[in-house]
Structure formats: structure tokens, C-alpha cells
Amino acid sequence: MLKQDNHGIDFKLEGGVDHACAPKAKMHARTTNNLPRRAKPWISSFAGLLTAIVVAMLAAGPAAAGLRIGVTPGALADSIHVAATEARAKGLDVKVVEFSDWTTPNVALDNGDLDLNYFQHQAFLDNAVRQNGFKLKSVGLGILPNIGLYSERHARLSDLPQGATVAVANDPVNQGRGLALLATAGLISLKEGVGAKATLDDVATNPRTLKFVEIEGPQLVRAVADVDLAQGYPAHYVNAGRGDFAGKALLYSGVDDLAFAIRFVARADRVETPEIRQFIDLYQTSPAVRARIDAAFAHDAALYTLPWLR
């Protein structure tokens, strides 16, 4: 069931429970004038019993509430739903919360409204922590969605002409990844030591005088028709109904791109929580999860990597 919180963010909670990440309700004290000045004996006895019960519950510690995992829709969410179903069958209560943006999952996790999230790579997490002061840590590896260099005009990278137009992502994190792959292809070189943190200002040599166009990541799927070469995400082509083209990149990244593997992320004070470790282990070893991942990437092993197996 889809709901909208007071920030305008849509989210869905598996299992029909709403508002798992809604702001916690404030407790208000209220006085009334129609109560007798002196409580009756049975009221006092009941109050004493209730107090004793609450104290006993607090002494026993919080009840096990299972895990609440935040994801974004697509291949990541699909695989998490499969793992959650298996976890519940093994007695671990898991609820999956889907978010429509890449900001709220970290806010909700840092606030304690989630126990885990699974949607970001390490560079994205590092940037979020630096900008917002989140106390979050990576606790396990997930899927590494490979990126590719795509063209509808040329069959080989060697066919690119002088002055060819190349589309790259416009955000710093993903642009660096695309530039690193172009460097691997031998089309450019980058300043020493920048690696996947490169921006267009870090291009050291450009022997073919490539002309770069910066485009939002999700729009690169459309841009490929208008340029000679485009950085692209195979999963985006699959989601756009172009699974056949997703497997036709002229070059793919691979396990050497490990920094961009999707991470399981938890609060820093919960990294050793047994239920979190149990769920990650189940995700990484489940044949059903691997089958769902493979289906999400059009059954093409060139489109993704399972880095925990390497």
C-alpha cells in the first residue's frame, strides 16, 4: 500500500503495515478537572501493578522487532524481497520499505526508523556521511551493477571518429566511474591518482578530442541515440525494456570496480547485531536470491558481478 508522508515522499511497506518511517508521534501531557482529588484504592492498586509491569519489561530489554530494511525499487528491491521471504520462513521477521528517492533511506536509518538499507555504493555513502554527519557504516557487500560504454552508431570503440561526442553522468560520483572506464578503454587518460573520483577537469590526455556532454544518470538511456558513445547502466536499459541492448556494450566494467558495489548499510552502533548478520548471510548464500538477481539483469552475467564470491 502506498502512502505519502509529510515530506511528500512515497514509500511502501511490505506486509501492509504503513508509516514504518513516519516521524515518531510526540507525547503530550494533558490535565483534566473532572477527576476526584483522591484516587480510589482500586485505582491506586492498578497503577502500582501497571508500574511494576513496565519496570519488569524495561528490565527484560526491548522485544525482538525483527529487521526493517530500506531499498529503492528495481533489481535491488526484488532481490531483497526474495531474501525477506526466506528469512521469515526461518523465523526472522523482516519488513521491506521501498523509497522513491536516494536521500530518505539514509535519513530514516540514521534516525533509527530502519535497521538496514540497501541502495548505495561506498562513494555515495561516504558523501552522505560527510555532508550530513550520519553515523552509518557499510556492513556487507551486495550486487555490483556493472556499467558499460554504449553506442548505436559504432560497432567498435576503434570506430569512434575524431571529435566524437561522448555522454557521461553529470554527478561527481558516477561521472568518475564513467571516466575511469573510458580511461580503461584507452580513449583518454586521467591525472595520476584520481581514479574513479575523476571529473572532466581531471582528463589529462584526450587524443581523439572527444567532446563530453554531461547528462543525468537515468537519462543516459535516451541520450545514447544522440551521441557517438554513452556511459550507461545495463540495469537502466533492462528497466526501459531494452534488455537486448543492455548486453551490447562495447566495454563493461567488472570486479575491479568494487568500490561501486551496492552495500548493506547500518548504524555504526549496530554493525554487530546478530539479526543483521544473519540476513546478509542469507542474502549472499540463497540460490533463490541469485536467481532473482540474474533475472533482473536479463540473465546476462556481463551486466553484474557478485563481489562477495570473488
Say yes or no: 279 and 226 in one domain.
Answer: no
- Could you tell me if residue 60 is inside a domain? no
Residues 6+ apart with CB under 8 A from 23: 5, 6
Distance CA 215, CA 206 (A): 20
Backbone angles phi, psi at 140, to 5 degrees: 175, 155
How would you label 15-32 residue by residue, b for 16+ Cβ within 10 Å and e otherwise? eeeeebbeeeeeeeeeee
For residues 258 and 116, the answer to whether their CB atoms sit within 8 Å is no
11 shares its domain with 94: yes
pLDDT of residue 40: 43
pLDDT at position 65 is 56
Given this model, what pLDDT does residue 64 score? 44
| The pLDDT value given to residue 290 | 98
CB atoms inside a 10 Å sphere around CB 183: 20
Query: 246 and 234 in contact (C-beta within 8 Å)?
Result: yes
Give 137-166 pLDDT, tens digit per residue. Answer: 999 999 999 999 999 999 999 999 999 999
pLDDT score recorded for residue 47: 41
Cell digits for 254? 567488472
248 and 263 part of one domain: no
Q: Which residues contact 291 (CB under 8 A, 6 or more apart)?
A: none
**What is the predicted pLDDT for the residue at 35?**
35
Distance from first CA to last CA of the chain, Å, rounded? 38
* pLDDT value of position 257: 79
Angle CA 87–72–20, to nearest 5:
65
pLDDT at 10: 37
Residues of the chain with pLDDT under 50: 1-64
Which helix H or strand E contains 215, and what residues bound it? strand 211-215
Same domain for 119 and 220, yes or no, is no
So what's the pLDDT on residue 68?
98
| Nearest residue to 168 via CA among 123, 229, 226 | 229
Do residues 141 and 230 share a domain?
no
Residue 72, all three cell numbers: 529503492
* Domains identified in the chain, total number: 2
Question: Could you tell me the CATH number of the domain that includes residue 8?
Answer: 3.40.190.10
Residues 220, 84 share a domain: no
The per-residue pLDDT for range 40-73, each reduced to its tens digit, is: 444 344 444 443 443 333 333 333 458 999 999 8
Q: What is the CA radius of gyration of the chain?
A: 25
